[in-house]
Structure 1
Amino acid sequence: MTTTLAGIDFNAPAELVARQLIGVTLLVDGVGGRIVETEAYDRAEPASHCFIGETPRNFAMFGPPGHAYVYRSHGLHWCLNFVCREPGHGAGVLIRALEPLDDAAGLARMRARRGLDDVRLLCAGPGRLAQALGVTRAHNALPLAAPPFQLLPAAGAGVDIEVLAGTRIGISKAMELPWRFVAAGSRFLSKPHRG
C-alpha cells in the first residue's frame, strides 16, 4: 500500500523523504510554515531510536508510513517526526525547522506559545517547532493525512528549491551520514549548514 502525501511517497527510505520534504508546507490546526530543515533516521543505523528495536517509547516509528512519531528530547522538548518505509521497519524524518507562514493569526499563536516575537526563532529547531505548533505526545501515532495535520506540496510549479545535504546535529553515532537536509540560503535553520 502506497502512502503519498504532498506528492511524496512515505514508503520510500527516510533519506529520500527527508530531502523531498524541504519546501513542503506543514500545518497543525492551521498553524505552521514551509519545511526548511529535516534529518533522516533508519533502524539500520545506531543514531536512530529504532536501532534497539520496538519499545513503548518508539512504537509509532514502526507503524504505518505517513504517521507522526512524537517523543520528548532530554525530558524537555517535544520533537515531531514523520514515519517512513513499510510498517515494522522503523524509519522516520525529524522535522527540524520551518519558515513560518506570513499569516497574522498563525504567527500570533506561535508567538504566544513560544513567548517571543522574533519570527526567525519561532520554529528554528525541533523543540521550538513543536512548541510553536502546539505538538505534544497527544499527536503521537496520528495520521499526517488527517486533522490536525495538513501537508501541502511545495508552492509554485516549476519552482526549484535548492536542497543541501550535510551531517546531522546533536548525535554521537553515525555522524558521517549526510542525512541532514536544508533549504539553501534559509535564515530559519536551527544551525548553519555544514557540508
Structure 2
Amino acid sequence: MGSGKLSSAALPRSFFDRPSHEVAPDLLGRVLVHGSVAVRLTEVEAYGGPGEDPAAHTYRGRTPRNAVMFGPPGHLYVYFTYGMHFCANIVCLSDGFGSAVLLRAGEVVEGVPEARSRRSSGNRVTDRDLARGPARLAVSLGLLREHNGLDAILEGSPAGRPHQSATMLEGLAVEPAAIRSGPRTGVSTAKETPWRFWIDGEPTVSPYRAHVPRRRSTAATSVGEVPRS
C-alpha cells in the first residue's frame, strides 16, 4: 500500500464467516483492491439474513438477483440501484445464510488518478469525495454488474485469477474507541437498527440521511430496499 502504514496481507475467508454485524466494524480500516485502485474502508452497513432483517435484499428468500448473498463468504455482491448506480457488498456467513455488509465509503489510497478519471466531474472531485458514498466507492473501484460474485479472497497462488480480480487486505484495523455506530442510511424498514459503522472524525464518511419516500419503478436504496411492484 502506498501509505507505508497499511498491511498488504490478504484477509482469510474465515474472517467473513461470521454474522454481518460482527464483520462490519472489523472491516473499518481494511483495504479493498480492484485492478489498480485500492480503497481503505471508513464506513459500512450490515444486513442480516432471510426473515430476520426486513431491510435486507434476502429478507424474502433467495432469488436470481440476490443469489450471491447466500455464500460462500468473501464474495462481492454488486447490485444496480435507482436505475443509475452500482453498490458493492461483501458476503458474510457460510453458504445458505444470505447476509452481507454494504461498503458505504472509503479513502482511495492507491490509483487516485484512475479513480478520478471514472467520475463524470473528473478533476473537480476532491480526494475526500472520490469514494464518499456507496455509489462513488463502486465507481472509484470500477465495480459493475459483471463483478457481481467476484471472489475477494486471495487464497494460494494468484495464477489463473481474472485480470480484474479483487482482494480484501488487512490494511490497518481501527481501535474500537474510534468506531461509531448508528441507524442505517436511507432504509424505510428496521430504520433504527444500529448497524451502520464508521470511523469517528474520518472526512470520507458519507452524511447520514433518513429514508425519504420517493416514487420509483425499479430497484433499491441500499442493500435493504426491495423493489415494490
**TM-score (norm: length of structure 2):** 0.76
CA distance in 1, matches of 2:72, 2:166: 16
**Matched residue, 2:166:** 149
* Amino acid aligned to 2:171: A
**Matched residue, 1:139:** 147
CA distance in 2, matches of 1:193, 1:152: 29
Superposed counterparts of 1:23-172, under 5 Å: 23-43=29-49, 44-101=52-109, 103=110, 106-114=111-119, 115-116=121-122, 117-146=125-154, 148-155=165-172, 160=175, 162-172=178-188
State the shift of 1:26 in Å: 1.1
Question: Which stretches in structure 2 are left out of the alignment for 5+ residues?
Answer: 1-9, 155-160, 211-229
**Matched residue, 2:23:** 17
State the shift of 1:64 in Å: 0.6
Contact 2:185–2:209 (CA under 8 A) maintained in structure 1: no
CA distance in 1, matches of 2:83, 2:19: 28
CA distance in 2, matches of 1:16, 1:60: 20
The alignment's C-alpha RMSD in Å is 1.9
**Identity between Structure 1 and Structure 2 (%):** 41
Contact 2:39–2:141 (CA under 8 A) maintained in structure 1: no
What CA deviation, in whole Å up to 9, does each residue of 1:166-195 have, x standing for no partner? Answer: 11001000011100000111000111599x
State the shift of 1:152 in Å: 1.5
**TM-score (norm: length of structure 1):** 0.89
State the shift of 1:9 in Å: 1.6
**Matched residue, 2:214:** none
Question: Number of residues paired by the alignment?
Answer: 185
CA distance in 1, matches of 2:140, 2:15: 27
Structure 1 moving runs of 4+ over 3 Å: none
Of 127-136 and 24-33, deviating more is 24-33
CA distance in 1, matches of 2:171, 2:126: 24
CA distance in 1, matches of 2:71, 2:39: 26
* Amino acid aligned to 2:199: A
Question: Which stretches in structure 1 are left out of the alignment for 5+ residues?
Answer: none
Contact 1:63–1:141 (CA under 8 A) maintained in structure 2: no
Contact 2:43–2:199 (CA under 8 A) maintained in structure 1: yes
CA distance in 2, matches of 1:9, 1:53: 24
CA distance in 1, matches of 2:11, 2:202: 21
**Matched residue, 2:3:** none
For the pair shown, the structure with the greater C-alpha radius of gyration is: 2
